[in-house]
Homo-oligomer: A and B are copies of this chain.
């Protein structure tokens, strides 16, 4: 492969000049960055590369913060639940929290800003019936109801930035100061943040790109009294709360938020919760604030002639890259961590920025780069997984993080990344910003829609959860599939209908969650629009507990479309004779196909003999299809990510839209391989997603089949209308 250069960012560090030069050469890097804990010395900054410098807006300035402790960031927390044994109840509300991270806000009137709730009744306890003992951090309830459960929702000040806290504790930084997060909503903090940036830009003339890590509010991350993680929500707005924010919200929206609107039964409005009106209002309020303030900072960066890049993580809350206010920030770039295809698309699809960058795995940290370990394995896994998504919508740049000095000691790794960077540049050039061929347009329907594009089913960014992997696989599969993917909310289809270009709708998730939709399915506008859509030829794919809420004798409200419903125990009296799998079916035409539905589902039954049962196991339909007018409904119990399941999903997409004859246009029969076509570039690529050599029949868009052989991991680029030769 020809040696190319550019589009690659490297970490560097002091005392490492020559090696940095060599690595820049090998990997064709054109940008250098510092990391959390490293600084670039002048000699390295002088190299022929763009210089990225990490910048923290709202932490790392304790000299300021300590003088303005009333401007600390705040959180609403819920105490543990305490069952009353008599009418007197004491709640040590700080129990289980980490005193080094948070401390109760006794500055503001507790009676006004806190809430004591009888959780057994779901009722607020009158403020006259409780007192706070500030010495002991205890709320004392009088006139309690014996054997009811009580909680306190209380305000705290956050006195330690969660990311620094995590690094500090993990790396045992000892007496290194705890960085105090301050709130730019407060006057002094905001003035300080601006002034400091102006000054900093002057003092860092060699910085080309200010890498904001990030802006103002960290995702919710709360530790317990053992200094271990207690609560983590990568999407959580917990740390955006403050008395000032609540007051300004009330002024603007004309109603007051209750603590419970934030605390939400202790769920804290997890992204899995169907969002309340209040919480959506609050998010919008915060997004507008963050966009406005961040925009002012970016203006300063631009005035200083530099570029502004945002790290997608840590203090990213309120930026919502797919939200309506994000473009107003005026960023040049976004950089984020790439765990696989879906997280790559989460970055590469972000609208309104000039370029995107992905930080690939592994980090150059001693947990991977130690003698005897082969870091190539993780790199290869990460690259192959993410590369599928690259073929659909490439990032503009790739990069790495950590200590380059460590990585250098692994020559095989250096060789491998050299191949990766060249392969990346080649695919980027070949695709050339063009739109790849998409056989279908797929809409993912959930409560969040576009706002959280590619972010469904995540708790902590890209971590595996037993309750989510069977759904997250849908996103991962689609991230590299030859289809157009859009994200739709119930609100959007309620108001604007299903967009005309949608061929297939997918609704996936556990009952009651924001991804399945919960009470949204009681809305006849949603139901009738989808039924009409399918009736006229659209596809509807339900995964897990789609359209699920128990009402009117149905659990799946779209059971008529899906052809299946789930037994909750109320209709066991009804005989169900339809368990026979269809002997042949389009959804099981792969060779040696083995189904894997992840956690699967129990108690799903076919409504009638009309339902085409493709897989029936564990006493339940796991995969089925159902004709509905000119379209089809398809049920899948779960779809963990695999190449085989990616192919199954593709089959489901085409079958549901009754366009299965169109599947084999740009197509590889062997499911380890995929074909991506770029008509505007007159090119197509046959990709081997596996490490093993593969042979496959492919179809070239005009329907011509041909057999090709690919080395492990190979991408074969060919001109459209030319013969393939190996």
Cα of A532 to Cα of B120 in the assembled complex, Å: 14
Does A406 make an interface contact (CB < 8 A)? no
Q: Are the C-beta atoms of B599 and A602 separated by less than 8 Å?
A: yes
Does A131 make an interface contact (CB < 8 A)? no
> Chain B residues near A5 (CB, 8 Å)?
none
Convert A109-153 into 0s and 1s, putting 1 for each residue whose CB lies closer than 8 angstroms to a CB of B.
Answer: 000000000011110000000000000000000000111110000
Cα of A119 to Cα of B149 in the assembled complex, Å: 37
- In the complex, residue of chain B having the shortest beta-carbon distance to the beta carbon of A265: B553
> Chain B residues near A231 (CB, 8 Å)?
573-575
Does A570 make an interface contact (CB < 8 A)? yes
Q: Are the C-beta atoms of A273 and B570 separated by less than 8 Å?
A: yes
Q: Are the C-beta atoms of A147 and B532 separated by less than 8 Å?
A: yes
Q: Using known A-B contacts A83-B560, A120-B528, A573-B232, determine if residue A510 contacts B268 with beta carbons closer than 8 Å.
A: no
Interface positions, chain A 71-87, Cβ under 8 Å from B, are: 81, 83, 85
Q: Are the C-beta atoms of A265 and B552 separated by less than 8 Å?
A: yes
Does A571 make an interface contact (CB < 8 A)? yes
Between A228, A267, A553, A577, the greatest number of chain B beta carbons within 10 A of the residue's beta carbon is seen for A553
Cα of A267 to Cα of B554 in the assembled complex, Å: 10
Q: Are the C-beta atoms of B532 and A572 separated by less than 8 Å?
A: no
Cα of A524 to Cα of B120 in the assembled complex, Å: 6
Interface positions, chain A 502-556, Cβ under 8 Å from B, are: 509-513, 524, 527-528, 531-532, 535, 550-554
Convert A249-280 into 0s and 1s, putting 1 for each residue whose CB lies closer than 8 angstroms to a CB of B.
Answer: 00000000000000001111010110000000
Q: Are the C-beta atoms of B120 and A527 separated by less than 8 Å?
A: yes
Which one of B119, B467, B570 lies within 8 Å of A267 (CB-CB)? B570
> Chain B residues near A468 (CB, 8 Å)?
572
> Chain B residues near A619 (CB, 8 Å)?
466
Q: Are the C-beta atoms of B270 and A535 separated by less than 8 Å?
A: no
Cα of A545 to Cα of B180 in the assembled complex, Å: 44
Q: How far is the CB of A170 from chain B (nearest CB, A)?
A: 15
A selection of 27 A-B contacts at a CB cut-off of 8 Å is: A119-B552, A121-B524, A145-B528, A146-B528, A146-B532, A147-B532, A147-B535, A224-B575, A231-B573, A231-B574, A232-B573, A265-B552, A266-B553, A267-B553, A267-B573, A270-B571, A272-B572, A273-B570, A460-B573, A465-B572, A467-B567, A468-B572, A510-B568, A510-B569, A511-B568, A512-B568, A512-B569
Extra contacts, 15 of them, besides A120-B527, A267-B573, A510-B568 (Cβ < 8 A), are A122-B552, A148-B528, A228-B577, A230-B574, A231-B573, A231-B575, A233-B573, A267-B553, A272-B572, A465-B572, A466-B603, A466-B619, A467-B603, A513-B570, A599-B602
Ranked 3 nearest A-B pairs via Cβ: A265-B553, A147-B528, A147-B531
Q: Point out residues on A near B: beta carbons under 8 Å.
A: 81, 83, 85, 119-122, 145-149, 220, 224, 228-233, 236, 265-268, 270, 272-273, 459-460, 465-468, 509-513, 524, 527-528, 531-532, 535, 550-554, 560, 567-575, 577, 599, 602-603, 619, 629
